[in-house]
């Protein structure tokens, strides 16, 4: 999938999911658009999926991943599974058991539970970041898993991500020197993707609040290629894709972006029709003034179907934005 996207100058929408409904929304969109794609789970999603009385991040992600495997089997597109933004302090209790789960599946002759994991050590100095990234890249390579790493800080906040709204501006831009250092540290160990930062911010902000500089990616790739050749260029990841201008999204595709994370926009798309349903059916979803309400109005399936459909429509737009529509390689591999 990564090679195909890189060769074709398109990228995959990476959709954060937290439930069967949101997984199905992503699968519907990918199928409708004949686009391959990525479904990913955060530590917070894992804790949520495991239930309020359990709160086990890794176990919840295993449950979600197993369900995604079963559901994806009914669709004629390729879907990769990823985990998102695991900080080093959480890795032993999150990434380690997930890697073990894939190892156990492979020992039984089954395929990987996950194809990709993200280790987000971007809050650490680069040397420390690369030291821990090396160790996890070695472990991932043994299991044919791609590791996603990050250098620089994505602003905003997203399910425990390292940045914050007051992140100093200079830290939102990965330097060409940093990009060269990442290549030198990780090259030759195993396949990895790189979330270089270029002013991107988690969340949704009013126009003008976020200063994206896609040229940062161009300059960094050029620095790596100048020293180590064109083949050294990265498979890049665009974090904080929600709310980004289409021309800037498309510009990053020419600089090697093959994956763009979309979460905030899909959360809103999911919630908006639920809010609409509740407001329009107030007397039905609530037993107001001693009345009995309307079971059809408060049956969760009614409004959650609307949420799934709306989320799928937003993901379909992301497939178009990233030029992935109609480009599934399912059946070719």
Three-class SS string for the chain?
A: CHHHHHHHCCCEEEEECCCHHHHHHHHHHHHHHCCCEEEEEEHHHHHHHCCCCCCCHHHHHHHHHHHHHHHHCCCCCCEEEEEEEECHHHHCCCHHHHHHHHHHHHHCCCCCCCCEEEECCCCCCHHHHHHHHHHHHHHHHHCCCEEEEEECCCECCCCCCCCCCCCCHHHHECCHHHHHHHHHHHCCCCCEEEEECECCECCCCCCCCCCCCCHHHHHHHHHHHHHHCHHHCCCEEECCCCCCCHHHHHHHHCCCEEEEEECHHHHHHHHHHHHHHHHHCHHHHCCHHHCCCCHHHHCHHHHHHHHHHHHHHHHHHHHHHCCCCCCCCCCCC
Task: Please state, in angstroms and rounded to a whole number, the distance separating the CA atoms of residues 111 and 107.
Answer: 9
Task: Please state, in angstroms and rounded to a whole number, the distance separating the CA atoms of residues 69 and 211.
Answer: 38
DSSP-derived letter for residue 1 is -
User: If DSSP codes are grouped into helix, strand and coil, which group holds residue 266?
Assistant: helix
Task: Please state, in angstroms and rounded to a whole number, the distance separating the CA atoms of residues 35 and 26.
Answer: 11
Token reading at 177? 């020197």
Active site residue 96: no
Cα angle for residues 193, 191, 255 (degrees, 5° grid): 40
Q: Which of 84, 120, 263, 265 is catalytic?
A: 84
**Which residues are the active-site residues?**
84
């Amino acid at each position: 999938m990564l090679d195909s996207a890189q060769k074709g100058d398109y990228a995959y929408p990476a959709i954060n999911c937290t439930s069967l409904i949101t997984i199905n929304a992503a699968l519907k969109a990918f199928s409708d658009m004949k686009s391959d794609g990525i479904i990913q789970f955060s530590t917070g999603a894992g804790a949520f999926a495991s239930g309020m009385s359990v709160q086990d991040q890794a176990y919840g992600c295993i449950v979600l991943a197993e369900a995604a495997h079963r559901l994806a089997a009914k669709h004629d597109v390729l879907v990769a599974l990823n985990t998102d933004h695991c900080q080093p302090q959480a890795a032993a209790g999150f990434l380690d058991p997930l890697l073990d789960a894939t190892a156990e599946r492979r020992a039984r002759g089954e395929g990987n539970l996950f194809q990709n994991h993200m280790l987000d050590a971007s809050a650490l100095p680069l040397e420390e970041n690369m030291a821990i990234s090396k160790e996890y890249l070695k472990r991932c390579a043994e299991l044919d898993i791609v590791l996603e790493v990050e250098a620089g800080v994505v602003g905003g906040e997203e399910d425990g991500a390292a940045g914050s709204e007051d992140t100093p501006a200079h830290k939102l831009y990965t330097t060409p020197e940093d990009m060269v250092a990442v290549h030198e540290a990780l090259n030759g160990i195993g396949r990895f993707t790189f979330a270089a930062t270029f002013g991107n911010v988690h969340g949704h902000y009013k126009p003008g609040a976020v200063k994206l500089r896609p040229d940062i990616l161009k300059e960094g790739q050029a620095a790596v290629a100048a020293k180590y050749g064109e083949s050294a260029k990265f498979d890049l990841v665009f974090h904080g894709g929600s709310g980004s201008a289409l021309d800037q999204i498309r510009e990053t595709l020419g600089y090697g972006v093959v994956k763009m994370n979309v979460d905030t926009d899909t959360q809103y798309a999911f919630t908006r029709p639920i809010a609409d349903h509740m407001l329009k059916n107030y007397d039905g979803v609530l037993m107001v003034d001693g009345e009995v309400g309307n079971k059809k109005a408060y049956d969760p399936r009614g409004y959650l179907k609307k949420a799934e459909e709306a989320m799928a429509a937003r993901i379909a737009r992301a497939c178009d934005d990233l030029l992935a529509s109609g480009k599934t390689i399912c059946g070719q591999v």
